[in-house]
Each structure stands twice: as structure tokens, then as C-alpha cells.
A = this chain, B = another copy of it.
């Protein structure tokens, strides 16, 4: 199909498609002449993925390019998930801002990983990100006790198990990588929304239990 049809079918303006081509997010069509190229279904699919990443995932063009690059090179479950996981930024975390002199937070992360018996390389950007985040929490006087952190980590483990369930049974590498992107970029907001709703529900229950006072007394904390 021509670019105009691609535009019509995906709802993306022609100028934007050209922009994505320029930015290397979308592979060029098969040129049939000096001023004509043919686009296929894979271009439409890629455009939909780009839209999902930038709108739902909230990614910048540069981040999207990195993720798509990882998708293109990935093969196999571990390759796809790993590449995408590393390329996909965690909102609100800038790993590059981790200085080296963060002894306390760094040790905290190392210890946590040891306690959990998680097998992750110390070079993972997520380790650096976690170190940065914990450091910031400490600076804000809101740091987690190791036990609290471990409790969250156990829940995160359960969530990750669910995540991976969704990846099995997909054979096509490209589909797999794209599914990985969706799981990471789009499902994270879903979980966050569920968390917020659960918070709302629990606050509501506690208020109902406590009557008009609105306070949460210790003996009611476990009733939910």
C-alpha cells in the first residue's frame, strides 16, 4: 500500500509517518520507483506499536527507538524480555544520575538481592535504578526498612510470575518481543491503577470501620 493508505488505515497523519521514518522508528517501504514505495501490513503493525509505546507507555521518541531496536534484535524469551526490559525506561527513574558514592543504598540493594536469592547481574540498569530510588527515599526521610522492602519484593515476584505466564506459548520472535513490550510498558500502568483503586477501597473500609473519626487506629489496621 502507499503511504496515504497506511495513514488512512492507522489514523496517523502522513507527516507523522514521514517523521517516524526520519527518526528511524519505522523501516522504509520497498521502493518501487524513485518517488514511490510500497508498505506492508508489518508497517501498520509497527505503527500501532509505536503509538502504544508513545501514548500508553509515555515513551519519548528516543526511548521508543531504543525499544524497537531491542525488539528487532531479540530472539527467544530471555532475549526479548531482557532487551526490552533494559531498553524500556522506568518512569521517574534516571539511572545515569546514580553517583558512585552511594554506599548505604548500594549495600541495601545488594543485601536485598541476596536475601531474596534473586539471580540478577549487578550490572543491570534496574539495580542502579533501585539504588538511586532508595537513595532518594532516604533523602526524603521515607526509606523502607529492609523487611518492608522484602515484603514488596515478594509481591513483585508474584506479579512477575503472572507476567511471564503471558509470554509462554508465543513462538514468533517478533510477536514475543512485542508482547514483552506490551507487558512491560502497558501493563505497568494497569497494575498501578489497580493499586490505586485498592488503596481507595481500603481507605474507604477503614473510614467506615472507624466511624466519623476518620482516623486509623492500630486495632483496625488488620481488619480489611
Contact = CB atoms under 8 A, between A and B. Distances in A.
Contacts of A204: 78, 119-120
A148 interface: yes
Oligomeric state, in copies = 2
Given A57-B92, A201-B118, A224 B133 contact: no
Interface residues of A, number: 89
Interface string A77-90: 11101100100001
Contacts of A153: 194, 198
A164 interface: yes
Interface of A: 48-49, 52, 55-58, 76-79, 81-82, 85, 90-94, 113, 116, 118-120, 124, 126-127, 129-130, 133-134, 136-137, 139-140, 142, 144, 148, 151-153, 155-169, 179, 182-207, 214-216, 218, 221, 224
Nearest 5 Cβ contacts at the A-B interface:
A160-B198, A156-B194, A91-B91, A58-B92, A118-B201
